[in-house]
Amino acid sequence: MEIVDVSSHDMIELLQFLYPQFQCTMTYQNVTDLLIL
């Protein structure tokens, strides 16, 4: 089983790709909050 190391920047780009409507407001803090939840 491999552990995938995903950086915050990659996560932001992924979220922007999946949810384009959130691109304007997508920030590092938002991603951090999502990961915590």
The 10s digit of each residue's pLDDT in 2-37 is 656 667 778 778 877 777 666 556 566 766 777 765
Query: Are the CB atoms for 12 and 28 separated by under 8 Å?
Result: yes
Contact between 23 and 16 under an 8 Å Cβ cutoff? The reply is: yes
Instruction: Give pLDDT, residue 9.
Output: 75
pLDDT of residue 23: 55
pLDDT at 14: 80
6 touches 12 (CB < 8 A): no
- Residue 28 structural domain: 1-37
Q: How many structural domains compose the chain?
A: 1
